[in-house]
Amino acid sequence: MRELTHLDKQGAARMVDVSDKAETTRTAVAEAILTMQLPTFKALMAGQLKKGDAFAAARIAGIQAAKKCSDLIPLCHPLMLASVDVAFEPREARSQLRIVANCKTKAQTGVEMEALTAASVAALTIYDMCKALEKGIEIGPVRLLEKTGGKSGDFSR
């Protein structure tokens, strides 16, 4: 079992010192799935929501969330992001919307949390935009799909 890196010898939480790590290009891709009733899905796809353009709002929210990740997640390092992309994939047969967040940086630590946060906040924004039509929208799974770079190597689901 690996040593827990976010705890000191007394068991107190700490931010990991990454100052000796090499700065490398790192990427991460995460997804969030929203499942809703078909009428809600159709209204979303047709741009018929009272709050306006849900996709524009969710894209901006996801990008902002990735940029603010270290303010939201304790012990997360602030990163200079090179790029953040938030894309949407409608799945009408399942009445689902798939959100894919892709983050890239050149840093001493990974960008997985930024991608996961971007996908999550984009999903929450879609929920907020659609909640007048339906309160029972489900968000999940939210998960890391892949990551590259760093000492721990690459990961692909």
Mean per-residue pLDDT, 122-131:
98
Catalytic residue among 53, 71, 128, 154: 128
Domain containing 86 equals 25-148
Q: Which pLDDT value is given to residue 41?
A: 98
Does residue 1 lie in a domain region?
no
Q: What residues contact 84, with CB distance under 8 A and at least 6 apart?
A: 62, 63, 66, 67, 101, 102, 103, 104, 114, 118
List, for residues 39-67, the tens digit of each pLDDT value: 999 999 999 999 999 999 999 999 999 99
Q: CATH number for the domain including 120?
A: 3.30.70.640
Q: What percent of the chain has pLDDT over 70?
A: 96
Total number of domains constituting the chain? 1
Query: 123 lies in a domain?
Result: yes
Residue 8 designated active-site: no
Query: Distance (Å, rounded) from C-alpha 62 to C-alpha 73?
Result: 15
pTM attached to this predicted model: 0.92
- Residue-level length of the chain: 157
Task: Answer for the pair 100, 89: CB distance below 8 angstroms, yes or no.
Answer: yes
In a domain, 17, yes or no: no
